[in-house]
Amino acid sequence: MGTFAEAYQKFQNHIKPIHLELMERTPFWGLFRTYREGIATGDAWKNDYNVIDILKTYNKDLNCFDIGGKRLAITVADIAAIFGLPEGGNDS
Q: What is the pLDDT of residues 17-55, one digit of tens each?
A: 999 999 888 877 887 888 788 776 666 555 566 677 888
> How far apart (Å, rounded) are the C-alpha atoms in residues 70 and 37?
38
Using a cut of 0.85, tell me whether the model's pTM lies above it: no
Name 56's Cβ contacts closer than 8 Å, sequence gap at least 6.
Answer: none
- Classified as helix, coil or strand, 75 is coil
